[in-house]
């Protein structure tokens, strides 16, 4: 445990710059949106105390806004506001509205009617009643609303990193996808502390007596604006092109770190979620993105992969991996699975992925069409000489491959098939395999090397020069350690890749990552 904390501390020290920037962005995002939410919510809350018949509608709408899942809300924002700070602020603002409007409303309607009447009776006009009586007396309740909104915003602001608005979510979600606990904690602990800190400060403000609250409330806008400005301080760099990378890509040696160390690539980079990255590239919010070379969206959004001329991305050639005892039990199996070997190129796989992910065709249909076109398809024999158990991870490409294998086994052998598709990530599906829950599934050489074998950096450097050496290495090691056999590669390489819009790449004559670097360095 001690040692663990040590490493977290080291990580935070080592990443202190980034941590500082992210924390400031986080505070900034929280308070810009809070500030605007107060500007909108407070008058609206006051207004509906005057027009009670509108209160139901207004509070209803604010309530519905708050039930929209955060990711979905961020998603809705992109077509309208693009990516970056704007949509994040608007989304946060929408979440913060309800507690502010509601508490303003209940705070003001809760002011003692006799006191209000006394104010009117003494000759105050309606503005004087509002500012001298209603608002000051409702202030503790309104502050409670602002406090709730602040805590919500600190939480939701972690999701801002999905749409390239920065914040501590970069570490949190980067850490989750890299399975790096220190990175997760380096984001999560400061985020939690911010929430606790602001909650505490606002609770103190709430408990001040009326005299002091007067001063504090006057001071609040200044403080809010100052905190909001934190967001803009870090983002003062310029570059001809803007890159959007996933949090995972940001933290990997075979990702952004390699781009910096091997290529010396200096590009204005924002962190963004995979789900919106491609769309943002198409809409020219981003120029360069990280992605997978066989992703269907490559085709859907008319993007082109830049050639990795210095070979920093290890090959991710796909091949079925099978338990050796299953090969013995089903003698026909190896031959049947190898029917696909070398049949699917990168562009073919991209096309197939495009059909499932974008045209929403079923993986079965796509698999069958492909097999038919390659004249590999045979009708089912309906055999019953044992059941082969197929696994797959939880994304489209794996579903398509699993379908193809199912059809091939049913058509070429007398085995029946049980499929266990959608087994989460690598760890889950591979555990299922070593625990004899499945007989085989399609895996990638790079994943085998890095995620399963956890090869040392030296080994990685030595191997990644060529496709074959990686394949041979994992094949050898898997047989030795797990009694699992890598069959022949299917042909395509689903590796990390940098991509750009086809049109822009052509105009700028950028074909390789080195071209990109040269273009960026040109004055």
Closest to other proteins by CB, 129 or 172: 129
State which residue, 133 or 205, has the beta carbon closest to other proteins: 133
Residues in the chain: 523
Scan residues 86-115 and list those touching other proteins (CB under 8 A): 112, 114-115
C-alpha separations of 370 from 24, 320, 351, 358, 420 in Å: 51, 18, 11, 17, 22
Q: Count the helix, strand and coil residues of the chain and give each as a percent rounded to the nearest 5.
A: 65, 10, 25
**Nearest-approach distance from CB 128 to other proteins, in angstroms:** 7
Name which of residues 113 to 152 contact other proteins (CB under 8 A).
114-115, 117-125, 128, 133, 136-137
List, in order, residues 6 or more apart from 295 with CB less than 8 Å away.
Answer: 278, 350, 353, 357
CA dihedral 6, 7, 10, 11 (to 10 degrees): -150
191 binds other proteins (CB under 8 A): no
Q: Which is nearer to other proteins, 1 or 121 (CB)?
A: 121
As to burial, measured by CB atoms within 10 angstroms (0-12 exposed, 13-18 middle, 19+ buried), residue 488 is middle
Q: How far is the CB of 111 from other proteins (least distance, A)?
A: 10
State in angstroms the smallest separation of the CB of 35 from other proteins. 25
User: Which residue, 137 or 195, has its beta carbon nearer to other proteins?
Assistant: 137
Indicate the angle between helix axes 363-373 and 346-357, nearest 10 degrees.
140
Tell whether residue 210 is a contact of other proteins (CB under 8 A): yes
What residues pair up with 336 in beta bridges, in sequence order? none
210 or 519: whose CB is closer to other proteins?
Answer: 210
Q: Could you tell me the smallest distance in angstroms from the CB atom of residue 209 to other proteins? A: 8
CB of 129 to other proteins, least distance (A): 10
Backbone angles phi, psi at 79, to 5 degrees: -60, -30
CB-nearer residue toward other proteins: 137 or 188: 137
How many positions of this chain bind other proteins (CB under 8 A)? 18
Q: Give the three-state DSSP class for 284.
A: coil
Residue closer to other proteins (CB basis): 78 or 137: 137
Q: Which helix (H) or strand (E) holds 419?
A: strand 416-420
Q: Assess 208 for contact with other proteins (CB under 8 A).
A: no
Least gap, CB of 10 to other proteins (angstroms):
52
Minimal distance in Å, beta carbon 126 to other proteins?
9
Strands 387-391 and 416-420: parallel
- Do the beta carbons of residue 192 and residue 151 sit within 8 Å? no
Restricted to residues 370-399, the positions that interact with other proteins (CB under 8 A) are none
User: Which residues of the chain form contacts with other proteins (CB under 8 A)?
Assistant: 112, 114-115, 117-125, 128, 133, 136-137, 209-210
């Amino acid at each position: 445990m001690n040692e663990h904390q040590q490493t977290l501390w080291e990580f935070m020290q080592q990443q202190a710059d980034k941590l500082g920037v992210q924390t400031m962005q986080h505070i900034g995002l929280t308070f810009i949106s809070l500030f605007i939410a107060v500007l909108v919510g407070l008058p609206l809350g006051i207004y509906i105390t005057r027009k009670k018949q509108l209160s139901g509608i207004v509070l209803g709408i604010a309530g519905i806004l708050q039930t929209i899942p955060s990711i979905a809300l961020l998603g809705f924002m992109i077509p309208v506001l693009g990516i970056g700070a704007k949509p994040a602020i608007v989304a946060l603002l929408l979440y913060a509205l309800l507690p502010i409007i509601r508490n303003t409303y209940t705070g003001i309607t809760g002011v003692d009617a006799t006191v209000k009447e006394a104010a009117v009776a003494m000759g105050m006009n309606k503005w004087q009643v509002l500012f001298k009586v209603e608002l000051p007396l409702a202030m503790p309740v309104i502050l409670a609303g602002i406090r709730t909104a602040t805590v919500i915003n600190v939480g939701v602001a972690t999701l801002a990193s999905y749409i390239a608005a920065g914040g501590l979510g970069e570490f949190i979600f980067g850490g989750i996808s890299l399975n790096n606990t220190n990175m997760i904690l380096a984001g999560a602990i400061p985020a939690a502390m911010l929430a606790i800190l602001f909650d505490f400060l606002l609770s103190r403000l709430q408990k001040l007596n009326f005299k002091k609250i007067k001063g504090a409330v006057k001071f609040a806008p200044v403080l809010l604006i100052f905190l909001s400005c934190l967001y803009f301080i870090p983002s003062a760099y310029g570059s001809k092109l803007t890159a959007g990378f996933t949090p995972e890509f940001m933290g990997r040696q075979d990702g952004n770190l390699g781009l910096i160390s091997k290529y010396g690539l200096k590009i204005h980079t924002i962190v963004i979620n995979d789900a919106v990255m491609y769309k943002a590239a198409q809409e020219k919010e981003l120029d360069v993105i990280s992605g997978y070379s066989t992703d269907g969206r490559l085709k859907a959004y008319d993007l082109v992969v830049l050639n990795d001329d210095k070979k920093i991305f290890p090959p991710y050639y796909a091949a079925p991996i099978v338990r050796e005892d299953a090969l013995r039990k089903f003698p026909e199996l190896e031959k049947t699975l190898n029917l696909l070997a070398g049949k699917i190129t990168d562009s073919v796989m991209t096309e197939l992925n495009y059909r499932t992910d974008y045209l929403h065709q079923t993986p079965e249909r796509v698999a069958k069409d492909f097999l038919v076109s390659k004249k590999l398809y045979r009708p089912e024999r309906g055999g019953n000489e044992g059941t082969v158990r197929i696994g797959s991870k939880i994304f489209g490409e794996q579903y398509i491959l699993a379908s193809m294998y199912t059809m091939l086994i049913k058509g070429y052998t007398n085995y029946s098939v049980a499929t266990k598709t959608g087994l989460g990530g690598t760890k889950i599906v591979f555990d299922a395999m070593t625990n004899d829950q499945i007989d085989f599934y399609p895996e990638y050489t790079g994943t085998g090397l890095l995620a399963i074998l956890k090869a040392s950096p030296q080994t990685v450097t030595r191997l990644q020069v060529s496709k074959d050496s990686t394949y041979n290495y994992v094949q050898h090691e898997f047989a030795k350690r797990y009694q699992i056999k890598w069959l022949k590669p299917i042909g395509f390489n689903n590796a990390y890749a940098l991509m750009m819009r086809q049109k822009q790449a052509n105009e700028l004559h950028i074909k390789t990552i080195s071209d990109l670097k040269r273009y960026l360095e040109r004055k």
